[in-house]
A and B are shown apart, each in its own frame.
Chain A
Amino acid sequence: MYLSPVSVSGLCIKHPMPTTTPKTHTPRPAFWRGCADSAPFLLVVAPFAVLFGVLATEAGLNVLETMAFSVAVIAGAAQFTALQLMVEDAPTLIVLASALAVNLRMAMYSASLTPYLGGAPLWQRAILSYFILDQSYACSMVEYEKKPQMTLPEKLAYFAGTSTPIVPAWYIFTYAGAVLGTQIPESWALDFALPITFLALLAPMLRTPAHVIATLVSIVVSLLMAWVPYSLGLLIAGIVAMIAGAQAELYFERRGTNR
Chain B
Amino acid sequence: MIDQTELWIVIIGLGLGSFVLRFTFIGLVGGRTIPDWMLRHLRYTAVAILPALVAPLVAWPAATDGQLDAPRLMAAAATLAVGLVTRNVFGAIFAGASVLYGSMFLLG
Binding site for B on A (CB under 8 A): 2-4, 7, 43-44, 59-61, 65, 68-69, 71-75, 77-79, 81-82, 84, 86-87, 92, 95-96, 98-111, 113-115, 117-118, 122, 125-126, 128-130, 132, 189, 191-192, 194-206, 210-211, 214-215, 217-219, 221-223, 226, 233-234, 237-246, 249-250
Contacts and interface: CB of A to CB of B under 8 A. Distances in A.
Contacts of A239: 48
Contacts of A102: 45-46, 49-50, 53
Contacts of B63: 189, 191-192
9 contacts: A73-B18, A79-B14, A108-B39, A130-B22, A189-B63, A192-B57, A192-B75, A202-B54, A214-B44
B18 A78 contact: yes
A109 B49 CA distance: 17
A59 B22 contact: no
Nearest to A104: B45
A200 B93 contact: yes
A96 B37 contact: no
Classify chain B's interface size.
Answer: 35 or more
Interface in B51-108: 51-63, 72, 75-76, 79-80, 82-84, 87-90, 92-93, 96-97, 100-101, 104
Contact of B48 (A68, A69, A226, A245): A245
A199 B80 contact: yes
A94 to B, nearest CB: 10
A61 B97 contact: no
B41 A203 contact: no
A241 B89 contact: no
Contacts of A105: 42, 45-46
Interface in B4-30: 6-19, 21-27, 29-30
The 8 A-B pairs of least Cβ separation, nearest first, read A203-B83, A72-B15, A245-B44, A241-B48, A200-B92, A237-B52, A222-B52, A108-B42
A165 B10 CA distance: 27
A246 B39 CA distance: 9
Contact of B56 (A101, A223, A246, A249): A223
Contacts of B26: 110-111, 113-114, 117-118, 125, 128-129, 132
Nearest to A223: B55
A215 B49 CA distance: 8
A196 B61 CA distance: 13
A92 B9 contact: yes
